[in-house]
């Protein structure tokens, strides 16, 4: 039996793909098709916002041409696959001519003619509307958002609005943004969606106004600091058939999502403890983060990140939460929270004036997961067991500032008419807001 293997993204499966699969099939008796994973567009400089890997696998399966379908996850996998499956022929489109000659050492390499006049890129350009996004607030994170948006297909930055016209004008000049709007309403009238990057206390009013105007909203974390406000915004978004998403970059990081999926699959057994911490030591006390009138403090500024793995892995139905804080000049420079669940206990630490180790440790009945500092920019984690020979390390690539992943998911939700994301569910954002509210109201609170 002659085995043939071929690879592709199969994004927006079209006749050109089918023709290539038929040609590859004709070369032998058994066809293996490798479908590249959801990060395939990195090499082309854009993150895809259309078909995820499972949808693309189903599309290939529906052709009836593949005898076996595998997923390509890492560089160098082609050599491993050729040897693993006893492949006789590696087949690929002629636009890759010469790129895979190194495989001749292991099998025959055949470059197949492509179908002229059709490609996934062309189909994306024809079928995918561009989402015009307006940036609200020109603070420290906004320039990174603009730069990262250029790495995602289907999005363009229409302009910015800031309460300071001079700051907005300067932002436009320095960040290749088309224009600065003189009012929030003017921006809303000219965009499909907004990214809210203003101070915390303005999030609710701006997000609600945008939703009422029929615009999708991506709001910086923490989205709001009050449970009822969070519920109100999500209910309004659902009524309007709009996407409202909290911009927690870790929630959309590929490595973090893989970690969560592996832990939920039981690789370390039942989770009984989670420890997460995040801290920054800033000397400039004039920053907004140190102003109690602007919701400053370590929990409001950093808390949503260490809360994320706890709520993702153990859910929002905890039994109790105690908060312990060191207060200076009206804000918490350090806060520790201790959760009690039915069968688990968790803790998180955040600090703006106290330095913590910055690790994430998830302890289970079979082993534990360790994500070293800075865990919120997950690019590596390790699964550890009693028998150290069973330990496994996992490495991933964290691109740029990491905002491109949340932008990709936001635009994907809009284009594919998904009103919520599993990466950060509505109930999880609402729970985070309720925890912020508990802190504000000093419930189960102890000052150090």
| Three-state DSSP string of the chain | CCEEEEEECCCCCCHHHHHHHHHHHCCCCEEEEEEECCCHHHHHCCECCCCCHHHHHHHHHHHCCCCEEEEECCCCHHHHHHHHCCCCEEEEEHHHCCCCHHHHHCCEEEEECCCCCCCHHHHHHHHCCCEEEEEECCCCCHHHHHHHHCCECCEEEEEEECCCHHHHHHHHHHHCCCCECCCHHHHHCCCCEEEECCCHHHHHHHHHHHHHCCCEEEEECCCCCCHHHHHHHHHHHHHCCCCEEEECHHHHCHHHHHHHHHHHCCCCCCEEEEEEEEECCCCCCCCHHHCHHHCCCHHHHHCHHHHHHHHHHHCCCCCEEEEEEEEECCEEEEEEEEEECCCCEEEEEEECCCCCCCCEEEEECCEEEEECCCHHHCCEEEEEECCHHHCEEEECCCCCCCHHHHHHHHHHHHHCCCCCCCCCCHHHHHHHHHHHHHHHCCCCEEEC
pLDDT band at 114 (very low <50, low <70, confident <90, very high): confident
pLDDT (mean) for 398-408: 92
pLDDT tens digit string along 19-41? Answer: 999 999 999 999 999 998 866 54
In this prediction, residue 50 carries a pLDDT of: 64
pLDDT band at 69 (very low <50, low <70, confident <90, very high): very high
pLDDT band at 123 (very low <50, low <70, confident <90, very high): very low
Question: What whole-number distance in Å separates Cα of residue 349 and Cα of residue 358?
Answer: 9
- Is the predicted pLDDT of residue 161 greater than 90, yes or no? yes
Question: What whole-number distance in Å separates Cα of residue 259 and Cα of residue 243?
Answer: 26
pLDDT band at 44 (very low <50, low <70, confident <90, very high): very low
Asked if 402 and 249 touch (Cβ cutoff 8 Å), the reply is: yes
Asked if 298 and 279 touch (Cβ cutoff 8 Å), the reply is: yes
Give the list of residues 6+ apart from residue 274 with CB closer than 8 angstroms, or none. 309, 310, 313, 314, 344, 346, 347, 360, 361, 362, 363
pTM: 0.82
pLDDT tens digit string along 229-259? Answer: 999 999 999 999 999 999 999 999 989 998 9
Domains of the chain (ranges plus CATH)? Answer: 3-123 (3.40.50.620), 129-250 (3.40.50.720), 254-397 (3.30.360.10)
Best CA proximity match to 369, nearest among 313, 317, 320, 431: 313
The whole-chain average pLDDT of the chain stands at 92
Alpha-carbon distances, residue 299 vs 268, 335, 414 (angstroms): 29, 6, 31
Question: What whole-number distance in Å separates Cα of residue 230 and Cα of residue 48?
Answer: 29
Q: Is the peptide bond before 73 cis (omega within 30 degrees of 0)?
A: no
Asked if 280 and 303 touch (Cβ cutoff 8 Å), the reply is: no
Alpha-carbon distances, residue 64 vs 60, 258, 292 (angstroms): 7, 30, 62
Best CA proximity match to 432, nearest among 337, 316, 340: 316
Question: What whole-number distance in Å separates Cα of residue 121 and Cα of residue 126?
Answer: 9
Burial 381-417, CB ≥16 within 10 A → b, else e = bebbbeeeeeeeebebebbeebbbbbbbbbbbbbbee
**How many whole angstroms from its chain centre is CA 59?**
24
Q: 19-28, 71-80, 215-224, 230-239: which range is least confident on average?
A: 71-80
In this prediction, residue 346 carries a pLDDT of: 98
Burial 162-176, CB ≥16 within 10 A → b, else e = beeeebbeebbeebe
pLDDT band at 75 (very low <50, low <70, confident <90, very high): confident
The phi, psi pair for 89, rounded to 5°, reads -135, 130
């Amino acid at each position: 039996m002659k085995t043939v293997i071929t690879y592709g993204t199969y994004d927006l499966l079209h006749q050109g793909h089918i023709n290539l699969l038929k040609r590859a099939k004709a070369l032998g008796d058994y066809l293996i098709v490798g479908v590249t994973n959801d990060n395939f567009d990195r090499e082309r400089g854009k993150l895809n916002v259309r078909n995820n890997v499972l949808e693309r696998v189903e599309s290939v399966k529906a052709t009836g041409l593949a005898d076996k379908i595998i997923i390509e996850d890492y560089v160098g996998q082609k050599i491993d696959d050729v040897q693993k499956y006893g492949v006789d022929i590696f087949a690929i489109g002629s636009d890759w001519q010469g790129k895979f000659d190194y495989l001749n050492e292991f099998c025959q390499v055949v470059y197949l003619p492509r179908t002229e006049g059709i490609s996934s890129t062309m189909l994306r350009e024809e079928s995918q509307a561009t989402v015009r996004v307006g940036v609200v607030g020109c603070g420290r994170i906004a320039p990174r958002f603009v730069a990262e948006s250029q790495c995602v297909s289907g999005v363009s930055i229409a302009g910015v609005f800031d309460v300071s016209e001079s700051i907005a004008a300067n932002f436009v000049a320095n960040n290749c943004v088309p224009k600065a709007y003189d009012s929030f309403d003017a921006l809303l009238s000219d965009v499909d969606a907004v990214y809210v990057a203003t101070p915390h206390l303005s999030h609710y009013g701006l997000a609600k106004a945008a939703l009422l105007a029929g615009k999708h909203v991506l709001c910086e974390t923490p989205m709001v600091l009050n449970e009822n406000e969070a519920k109100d915004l999500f209910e309004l978004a659902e009524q309007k058939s709009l996407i409202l998403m909290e911009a927690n970059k870790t929630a959309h990081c590929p490595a973090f999502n893989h970690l969560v999926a592996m832990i939920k699959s039981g690789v370390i057994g039942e989770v009984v403890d989670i420890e997460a911490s995040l801290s920054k030591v800033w000397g400039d006390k004039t920053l907004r983060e140190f102003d109690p009138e602007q919701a400053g403090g370590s929990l409001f500024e950093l808390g949503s990140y260490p809360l994320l793995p706890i709520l993702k892995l153990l859910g929002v139905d905890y039994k109790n939460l105690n908060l312990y804080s060191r207060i200076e000049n009206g804000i918490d420079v350090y806060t520790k929270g201790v959760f009690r669940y039915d069968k688990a206990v968790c803790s998180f630490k955040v600090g703006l004036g106290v330095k913590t180790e910055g690790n994430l440790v998830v302890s289970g009945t079979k082993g534990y997961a360790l994500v070293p500092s800075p865990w919120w920019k997950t690019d590596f984690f390790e699964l550890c067991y009693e028998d150290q020979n069973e330990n496994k390390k996992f490495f991933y690539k964290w691109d740029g500032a990491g905002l491109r992943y949340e932008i990709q998911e936001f635009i994907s939700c809009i284009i594919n008419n998904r009103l919520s994301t599993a990466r950060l569910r509505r109930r999880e954002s609402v729970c985070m807001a309720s925890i912020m509210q508990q802190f504000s109201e000093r419930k189960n609170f102890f000052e150090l």
